[in-house]
């Protein structure tokens, strides 16, 4: 059993401590915005925030998040208007959309830590998130737009 706050709500998960956070979020909490990609933490589709830091939920055991705050794409903004989400819509970033929740969560983490990143810093921070459709130019443009408004 693991207790934590998910998107601002106290949650208790009846699962073993080695259960990946991803499966607790999707299967037990019904929060399906966080996606399963590679299962090894390499693609970033499962990115969520734990105590404000981007983590790969597919390789994060429940025991590691006991008592912590978890934010998923569903909790990033109550109305879907986080600056990164707005930029994604304005620039029509997604093609298939599968990786986009993880991309957005990674970008939000970057901009929280560094509100005005350089192009190199954006590329570095986003390099661990894979887009099967190759929307990298639009993703980078959206992160830049979210940081500058232009």
pLDDT digits (tens, 9 = 90+) for 72-89: 999 999 899 999 999 999
CATH number of 83-148: 1.10.150.120
Instruction: State mean pLDDT over 1-29.
Output: 97
**CATH code at 2-76:** 3.10.20.30
Mean pLDDT, the chain, integer: 96
Give the residue among 10, 110, 118 at the shortest CA–CA distance from 53: 110
State the helix-helix crossing angle for 119-126 and 136-148, rounded to 10 degrees: 120
Helix (H, G, I), strand (E, B) or coil at 86: helix
| Tens of pLDDT, residues 55-67 | 999 999 999 999 9
CATH 3.10.20.30 domain residues, the chain: 2-76
How much is the pTM?
Answer: 0.95
For residue 110, the SS3 value is helix
In the chain, ranges of CATH 1.10.150.120 domains? 83-148
Tell whether the model's pLDDT for residue 132 goes beyond 70: yes
């Amino acid at each position: 059993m693991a207790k934590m706050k998910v998107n601002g709500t106290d949650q208790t998960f009846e699962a073993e401590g080695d259960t990946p956070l991803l499966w607790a979020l999707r299967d037990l909490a019904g929060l399906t915005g966080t996606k399963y990609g590679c299962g090894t933490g390499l693609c970033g589709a499962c990115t969520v925030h734990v105590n404000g830091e981007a983590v790969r939920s597919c390789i994060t055991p429940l025991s590691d998040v006991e008592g912590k705050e978890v934010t998923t794409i569903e909790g990033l903004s109550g109305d879907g208007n986080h600056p990164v989400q707005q930029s994604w819509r304005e620039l029509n970033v997604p093609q298939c959309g599968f990786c986009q929740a993880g991309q957005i969560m990674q970008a939000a983490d970057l901009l929280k830590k560094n509100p005005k990143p350089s192009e190199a810093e954006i590329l570095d921070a986003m390099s661990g998130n894979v887009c099967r459709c190759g929307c990298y130019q639009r993703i980078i443009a959206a992160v830049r737009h979210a940081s500058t408004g232009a």
